[in-house]
Amino acid sequence: MQRRQFIQNASLTALGIATFGGIKAVTRSAASGNALRVNGKRIESRIFELAKFGMDANGHGTRVAFTQADIEGRAWFIALMKKAGLNPTIDTAGNIIGKRKGKNNALKPIAFGSHIDMVPDGGNYDGTLGSIGALEVIEILNEQNIMTEHPLELIIFSNEEGGTIGSKAMVGDITKEGLQQRSQSGLTMGEGIRAIGGNPDDIQSCIRKKGDIHAWLELHIEQGGILEKENIQIGVVEGIVGIVHWEIIVEGFSNHAGATQMNMRQDALLAASKLVIAVNEVINSVKGTQVGTVGKISVLPGAYNVIPGKVQMGLEIRDLSADKIDMLFKEIERRAALIAKASKTNIRFERQANESKPALTDKKLQQTINATAKSLGFSTKFMQSGAGHDTQHMSSIAPAAMIFIPSVGGISHSPKEFSKAIDMENGANVLMQTILFIDKSN
Ligand code: GLV
Ligand code: MN
Ligand code: MN
């Protein structure tokens, strides 16, 4: 037996598919499923096509959720879904949902997809790969006239980058307060959902309960540099970090920058700067993979000759333990009180409504993805996700898992984000074969 054939058979055996001495002995449908491959060229050309929506004059992407570019990108995607026979609809949270019938429509659907919105000045692969890869799976099944047992659902979640809003809503975790939070587009979450065809007044209608979905899968770029550095083709995600945001408001006193002596000032920006450093020190003060960032700041009134009277900043902390996030924040608060006292300013923290809890993916699905990837001849690694994903919410209502592929240079949320066509193709093949295996196995 050739080595490649041996590896393939060994992996299929690990998957619970009897090989009976050779691949030909595998049941007909499983064998034909395994021979199926996605069209890598089509995936890459669609990545470039979608990138045009919201691209500015410098070639940078601005397809922020709820903006005109997002609306146009979604329309492009919806048209492709229609062409693929998915009859897409928009749920009340603005999620795009396409359905493909199975042989047994009494079974719960296997759902998969991702998001197509991006951060300001973002990259062309984050979310879009999982969305385009999911559509590719549907199209291959269509082209090969393959009917799965389970119905399939392709889901494109709304405003992933602004707090995984669509998936939070789908699992019933969005609050009134969350809908009133202002999004990056300038609209509130509720207004934005309405702008893309949802209905925030009836947000409950989009909720899926535990047991409504057979399994959820998301293909995604890693967004870090581990897979590339270790020369691994496929990442199997074990857990996704929790994410909490706070607005920090520092109030000092605006005064004349020339006539106010240095010891008479209540400089809000000076206090804020010390706090930024304190955040970094606190996050680094304990062992672990926790991260903390002050990623935005505005200074008022903002003039050369005026001492800053007010500063507003955004703080984010991420970790796999919610308790650790709370512990780190308490220490940041303690340091802030000391800074406020010394600088005669007032520092206030406002915890934002749309936070994400840490989540683990489904162990059985992890094993299936790993064995499927190996059966296709790919190297794999079990790993954590430092980025947030819709999958972390879906894991509360369904067995959920993620497939990662390498990000060149470990760069993401940047116009320099890039993944190779071959890696995207590999990831989409793992997604497709995993879906087919789940479909047959239970
Ligand atoms: C989403 O990409 C996030 O991790 O913020
Ligand atoms: Mn993403
Ligand atoms: Mn992202």
| Mean pLDDT for the chain overall | 93
* pLDDT of residue 11 exceeding 60: no
- Closest ligand to C-alpha of residue 156 is 2
Q: What is the pLDDT of residue 34?
A: 78
3-state secondary structure the chain: CCHHHHHHHHHHHHCCCCCCCCHHHCCHHHHHHHHCCCCHHHHHHHHHHHHCCCECCCCCECCCCCCHHHHHHHHHHHHHHHHCCCCCEECCCCCEEEEECCCCCCCCCEEEEEECCCCCCECCCCCHHHHHHHHHHHHHHHHCCCCCCCCEEEEEECCCCCCCHHHHHHCCCCCHHHHHCECCCCCEHHHHHHHCCCCHHHHHHHCCCCCCCCEEEEEEECCCCHHHHCCCCEEEEEEECEEEEEEEEEECECCECCCCCHHHCECHHHHHHHHHHHHHHHHHCCCCCCEEEEEEEEEECCCCCECCCEEEEEEEEEECCHHHHHHHHHHHHHHHHHHHHHHCCEEEEEECCCCECCEECCHHHHHHHHHHHHHCCCCEEEEEECCCCCHHHHCCCCCEEEEEECCHHHCCCCCCCCCCHHHHHHHHHHHHHHHHHHHHHC
| Residue located nearest, by CA, to atom 1 of ligand 1 | 388
Atom of ligand 1 nearest to the CA of 386: 4
Mean pLDDT of 216-235: 98
Which pLDDT band, with edges at 50, 70 and 90, does 354 fall under?
A: confident
Q: What is the pLDDT of residues 371-412, one digit of tens each?
A: 999 999 999 999 999 999 999 999 999 999 999 999 999 999
How far is the centre of ligand 3, averaged over its atoms, from the C-alpha of 223 (Å)? Answer: 8
Q: What is the pLDDT of residues 89-144, one digit of tens each?
A: 999 999 999 999 999 999 999 999 999 999 999 999 999 999 999 999 999 999 99
Which pLDDT band, with edges at 50, 70 and 90, does 175 fall under?
A: very high
How far is the centre of ligand 3, averaged over its atoms, from the C-alpha of 118 (Å)? Answer: 6
- Mutation test residue for ligand 1: of 296, 316, 389, the one with most atoms within 8 Å of CB: 389
